[in-house]
Amino acid sequence: MEKIKMTTPLVEMDGDEMTRIIWQMIKEKLLLPFIDLKTEYYDLGLAHRNETDDKVTVESAEATKKYGVAVKCATITPNAARMTEYDLKEMWKSPNGTIRAILDGTVFRAPIIVEGITPYIPTWTKPITIARHAYGDVYKNTELRVSQGSKAELKVTDQDGHETSALIYDFEDSAGIIQGLHNKDKSIEGFARSCFNYALDTKQDIWFASKDTISKQYDHRFKDIFAEVFENDYRAKFEEAGIEYFYTLIDDAVARVIRSEGGYIWACKNYDGDVMSDMVATAYGSLAMMTSVLVSPDGIYEYEAAHGTVQRHYYKYCKGEKTSTNPVATIYAWTGALRKRGELDSLPALCGFADKLEKAVLATISEGIMTGDLAAISTLANKQTADTETFLDEIGIRLERLLNQ
Ligand code: NAP
Ligand code: MG
């Protein structure tokens, strides 16, 4: 069989620990035998980030800007323990944070749904994709404790030196706490555009919610910017695509989400997205079955798994033990990136390969062969736990069959 050709390279960001091992296995067993894989390789493994003073992370993000599509392996975000473990020069920042700051994107997380793994909410038969606005609000706040008898005010000085102030609270009868939040029109608009683009891309409705009835300036600004961007630039495209933009209050959204069958994108403010993405991931069964894609307002894509480097499994692997680490979300990061590359470069064979690889993954699991995390929650009677390598080999057998059809 002739290998499938690529024209533009994918930006490949390698990572750490168990996912770095799996990364290599996926390439060897599922990609290289079938594709003339063209990538521009960046090693974001912690040792190499340290060697390059983290320049490699910035370079990989710049390359993503140039080529438009990247696939990323999970990476360690250093903490105190990692400083000693890897003898680091500095506690380097989270690569995801660095990449996101350069691409200015929104992260979309979607569960992979498979036969035999029933979501805790049985009506959720289609994926719910969560889009989290990853800027500002409580994550970039200023907080103070306030003693009794103090008066707290908000004060803004404009560029001409004019001051506007408003009373927050007069703490006459008790000590207390205050918090200052901000967001930027530019960031909210970028978020809205990423969301609308991704909805068009995936042909799904998009929901957005805030608490504009209570927060008449702050949350209302989010509602207004979304409405304005939608009216000006997206209404016609949505009509043509047969999809909808729907705004409601956050509590109403939560109630509707629970009653829904899924199949839409739920755009969330920063805090809502933090909380709801964990709820949605758990309800669908496993963090190891959650995909993640960063989409910039100007249409640049970076695909990855939502989980981390699976450190505990890696230490077992290093001792020579077989592990049953789930590679599905990492495989889907590759299929997402290859399909997007295929779409951009008009390579239907590459898109077809991505479809078939996903089909092979789902077939393997629904035929009862799965990793331990899935076996623990699967309702299939004939389920058997496979180690990572065996599981990948089983996917490979089914993939080859599909490609030869
Ligand atoms: P984690 O790697 O996601 O793993 C947490 C636990 O979830 C694992 O110990 C395992 O449970 C289970 N799990 C996650 N993925 C799995 C998979 N593919 N197959 C089977 N089980 C899976 O999170 P962590 O242990 O908190 O973080 C480890 C490192 O990853 C940290 O250094 C962190 O900085 C990094 N991290 C990176 C990213 C990213 O690059 N996007 C995201 C999150 C965390 P059991 O041990 O019970 O089997
Ligand atoms: Mg969270």
Q: Which residue has the tokens 């069989």?
A: 1
pLDDT of the residue at 318:
96
Q: Which ligand is nearest to the CA of 278?
A: 2
Joined together, the tokens standing for residue 290 give 């959650």
Q: 256: closest CA among 348, 128, 162, 159? A: 128
Q: Which ligand is nearest to the CA of 273?
A: 2
pLDDT of the residue at 258:
94
Q: Which ligand is nearest to the CA of 268?
A: 2
CA 119 to centroid of ligand 2, rounded, Å: 19
CA 333 to centroid of ligand 2, rounded, Å: 20
pLDDT of the residue at 100:
86
CA 278 to centroid of ligand 2, rounded, Å: 5
- HEC letters along the chain: CCCECCCCCEEEEECCHHHHHHHHHHHHHHHCCCECCCEEEEECCHHHHHHCCCHHHHHHHHHHHHHCEEEECCCCCCCHHHHHHCCCCCCCCCHHHHHHHHHCCEEEEEECCCCCCCCCCCCCCCCEEEEECCCCHHHHCEEEEECCCEEEEEEEECCCCCEEEEEEEEECCCCEEEEECCCCHHHHHHHHHHHHHHHHHHCCEEEEEECCCCCCCHHHHHHHHHHHHHHHHHHHHHHHHCCCEEEEEHHHHHHHHHHCCCCEEEEECHHHHHHHHHHHHHHHCCHHHEEEEEECCCCCEEEEECCCCCHHHHHHHHCCCCCCCCCHHHHHHHHHHHHHHHHHCCCHHHHHHHHHHHHHHHHHHHCCEECHHHHCCCCCCCCEECCHHHHHHHHHHHHHHHHHC
pTM, full prediction: 0.90
Joined together, the tokens standing for residue 240 give 């043509």
Given ligand 1 and candidates 96, 100, 284, 287, which is best to mutate, with the most ligand atoms within 8 Å of its CB? 287
Q: Which ligand is nearest to the CA of 279?
A: 2
Q: Which residue has the tokens 């599509």?
A: 69
Ligand 1 is surrounded, with C-beta below 6 A, by 74-77, 96, 287-288, 304, 307-312, 325-326, 373
Q: Give how far Cα 199 sits from Cα of 70, 218, 300, 347, Å.
A: 20, 25, 15, 22
**CB proximity list for 22: less than 8 A, separation 6 or greater:** 325, 327, 330, 388
Given ligand 1 and candidates 20, 73, 84, 309, which is best to mutate, with the most ligand atoms within 8 Å of its CB? 309
Residue nearest to atom 45 of ligand 1 (CA): 312
CA 18 to centroid of ligand 1, rounded, Å: 9
CA 72 to centroid of ligand 1, rounded, Å: 15
Interatomic CA distance for residues 63 and 129, integer angstroms: 27
pLDDT of the residue at 1:
76
CA 326 to centroid of ligand 2, rounded, Å: 21
Interatomic CA distance for residues 299 and 77, integer angstroms: 26
Q: Which residue has the tokens 């894989």?
A: 37
Interatomic CA distance for residues 372 and 341, integer angstroms: 32
Residue nearest to atom 36 of ligand 1 (CA): 308
Q: Which residue has the tokens 């043509």?
A: 240
Q: What ligand 1 atom has the least distance to the C-alpha of 77?
A: 34
Interatomic CA distance for residues 189 and 391, integer angstroms: 43
Given ligand 1 and candidates 76, 289, 310, which is best to mutate, with the most ligand atoms within 8 Å of its CB? 310
Interatomic CA distance for residues 351 and 51, integer angstroms: 36
Residue nearest to atom 40 of ligand 1 (CA): 74
CA 341 to centroid of ligand 1, rounded, Å: 28
- Residue 83, beta-bridge partner list: none
pLDDT of the residue at 277:
87
CA 345 to centroid of ligand 1, rounded, Å: 34
Q: Which ligand is nearest to the CA of 139?
A: 2
Residue nearest to atom 44 of ligand 1 (CA): 308
Beta pairing, strands 128-132 & 264-268: parallel
pLDDT of the residue at 354:
98
Which phi and psi (to 5°) does residue 157 adopt? -110, 120
Q: Which ligand is nearest to the CA of 325?
A: 1
Burial class (CB in 10 A: 0-12, 13-18, 19+), 190: buried
Joined together, the tokens standing for residue 213 give 């009835």
- Residue 111, beta-bridge partner list: 290
All structural domains of the chain: 118-140+184-284 (3.40.718.10), 142-180 (no CATH)
CA 313 to centroid of ligand 1, rounded, Å: 9
Each residue's pLDDT, cut to its tens digit, for the chain (405 residues) gives: 789 999 999 999 999 999 999 999 999 999 999 999 999 999 999 999 999 999 999 999 999 999 999 999 999 999 999 999 999 999 999 999 899 889 888 999 999 999 988 888 989 999 999 999 988 888 888 999 999 999 999 999 999 999 999 999 999 999 999 999 999 999 999 999 999 999 999 999 999 999 999 999 999 999 999 999 999 999 999 999 999 999 999 999 999 999 999 999 999 999 999 889 888 988 988 888 999 999 988 889 999 999 999 999 999 999 999 999 999 999 999 999 999 999 999 999 999 999 999 999 999 999 999 999 999 999 999 999 999 999 999 999 999 999 998
Residue nearest to atom 32 of ligand 1 (CA): 76
**CB proximity list for 106: less than 8 A, separation 6 or greater:** 131, 132, 133, 134, 190, 191, 194, 195, 198, 294, 295, 296
Would the CA dihedral through 149, 154, 159, 161 be positive or negative? negative
pLDDT of the residue at 226:
98
Given ligand 1 and candidates 287, 307, 374, which is best to mutate, with the most ligand atoms within 8 Å of its CB? 307
CA 268 to centroid of ligand 2, rounded, Å: 12
Residue nearest to atom 41 of ligand 1 (CA): 74
